[in-house]
Amino acid sequence: MDNLIKALTETFGPSGEEDEVRTLIKSLAKGKIDRVYEDALGNLYLEREGPAPKIMVSAHMDEIGVIITHIDDNGFIRIAPVGGMSAQALPGKRFRFRSGTIGTVYHEKLKNIKELDWTKIYLDIGQPDRKAAMKLVNIGDLACYDQSFRAMEGGRCISKAMDDRVGCAVMLETINRLPRELPQAVCFLFSVQEEVGLRGATTAAYRYEPDYGIAVDVTLVGDTPKAHTMEVSLGKGPAIKVKDRSVLCHPLVRKLMVDAAAKNNIPYQLEVLERGGTDAGAIHISREGVPSGAISIPCRYVHSPSEVVDSADLENAVLLLEKLLTQNWPKQERSY
């Protein structure tokens, strides 16, 4: 899957400007889906037909980024975050705009590094003054990390935007492997604006009206030095979510996932994430409620330009999702 992940992670797509990612995904899934359409926000729906119940599987296309708020007379650019990003992690990092313009972040002179916040940092795109800078960029332009994909020794990969382009990759690879006939209808949702509040999944779940929801996203790990203590580690299989700040996963959906993993000898972990959320948080409260769960890809250094995942975890996530979608899900009895 390395080539697929490389293509996805290196494509420009901060929240609100996911169109290049969407175009790439549509081209990769061409001929393998029964129905393809988009909505007004830019969500991409890839449907496989089948009987009830309807399952929505969602991964988000957007990545974190920055937005220009001011350009001074000397051509230096003030920026603000789009999604969860720490100002203290940015000095020396490179950013790229849609046009290809590159810049690096640095900060004003500080007495103490603890003073560093968004008011103290700026982006330098190498221009001598405001007029020259504004020939390349403008107020409101978005930029994302400029960091390429690399395969590491030991079967691991490093890149920006693993969150959540690896989720997109898992869904695309699953689509490739599914048989022609499925026991239920499935909608693969590639959502927008997850990083700024699960916005795309909110409207998409309302439109599609699924009976069940599954998010495919990355999760934090507890296997690095002095990391926050948690069970999830790289290389031990995909994590089956129990809860995060956005959702308490439905017991039935969680059991279906655990049983599918156990039956097919797929290694898995159980995930309790104390902060953060996924599209499942939006899907499960849509309309009158949607029993939902999540398959989480263990990922180190989430929301940095160098996120690290394990290739075996990705392969096992594909296998788990494939087994889930080719088994029979219980039909829901609605009282209205």
Catalytic residues: 194
* Four-residue CA torsion sign, 289, 291, 294, 295: negative
95-100 long-range contacts, CB within 8 A, separation 24+: 95/65, 95/66, 95/123, 95/143, 95/144, 95/145, 95/146, 96/12, 96/143, 96/144, 96/145, 96/146, 97/136, 97/137, 97/141, 97/142, 97/143, 98/12, 98/17, 98/20, 98/141, 98/142, 99/136, 99/137
Residue 178 contacts by C-beta under 8 Å, 6 or more apart in sequence?
48, 322, 325, 326
Question: How many Å separate Cα 26 from the centre of its chain?
Answer: 17
Rounded distance between C-alpha atoms, residue 166 and residue 218, angstroms: 8
Say how far apart CA 274 and CA 48 lie, in whole Å: 34
Distance of CA 80 to the CA centre of its chain: 20
Nearest to 190, CA basis, from 12, 14, 6, 22: 22
How does 241-272 read in b/e, with b if 16+ C-beta sit within 10 Å? bbebebbebbeebbebbeebbeeeebebbebe
Residues 6+ apart with CB under 8 A from 13: 19, 20, 21, 61, 62, 63, 144, 161
